[in-house]
Structure 1
Amino acid sequence: MTLKKTAAGLLILSLAVTGAACSSTKNTASPSPAATVSAAPQATTVSQDATNMKGYIAARIAREKVDYLFAEAKSADGAFIVNPVAATDKESAKKFLSSYFDASMLDTLVNHYITDAKAGAAFLTNKTSYFKSNILATKKEEITFDKANTADLVKFTTKDGVTYTTKKVNDKFLVSEVK
């Protein structure tokens, strides 16, 4: 469904751009081919609201990945273990989460969840959540975005008073702080 919406949105956008180009006033002098080829592409500006949503969505995805890694797989006796599909120990867990969390959070987060106890070859995980509230239970209407947000840093607070900070690293938002 999301792929269909994305494709439909791209189609509408391309039609709008084409329509705007066709409806503009015509210049009587034809531009030279060299001028047309050398024109630099226009940079698209993204609104702060869109950037804020990217930071919020990145935080939600990061939380989903934490749940997947530490609260989904169970041992034969029913205890939660590190999900062996994604990681087997602290280092591989950090590597897995590094696509969603800033390096400054990885040690604290992984050390909170992975215990020294094992069930067979798998490490048991801490049942207590690292997070004070569940961002997955929030709606975007319940989020208050910081007025000082920028294109590279998005900070927001949930209705429960938990503040998330996401920062752009390599054109992707990563969670850098939760308090």
Structure 2
Amino acid sequence: MTVRQQTGPPRSAAAPVDFTDFYQAHFHRIAVQLYAYLGDHAEAQDLTQEAFCRTLERWARISGYDDPSAFVRRVAWNLATSRLRRVRTTVRHRARQREEHVPGPQPDRVALTRALATLPANQRRAIVLHHLAQLSVAEIAEQTGAPEGTVRSWLSRGRAALAGYFTETGSEDGRA
């Protein structure tokens, strides 16, 4: 007489063998439990679906369990608990973040941005790096790969173009 080993807990005779039957018999009940736990119907259905997908991958083994629905329920509850932890962590993180209200740009900043947009790219980059980033001519030359004389030329031409722009518009902040 040979003794057959089972891969899981013994299976009861009443449990469905076909995964589709098993799914139809247990999906709603598990989804309702998760809905009560999570308070979000769509999330409960998604997590229940994920638990059944994981069960399907191992169905040959799990179908031999005494209560395969216990496996699905455990997986679903673990997924729901993980989801709640992630949400709680996100909420705590956001609560620690301070919302900083920054006023919009002043009219002179808007005018400068418009004026810079009229310059060729090399002149605009040189002006921004020199006057806003406070880099020296040598540092700009090194960063752009251009000779220092070329950088000085870009700066000179850019400043002249900006002066002309503000003279044409009628004021320093660009408003006519």
Given the two structures, how large is their TM-score scaled by the length of structure 1?
0.21
Return the structure number with greater helix share.
2
Given the two structures, how large is their TM-score scaled by the length of structure 2?
0.21
Say which one has the larger Rg: 2
Return the structure number with greater strand share.
1
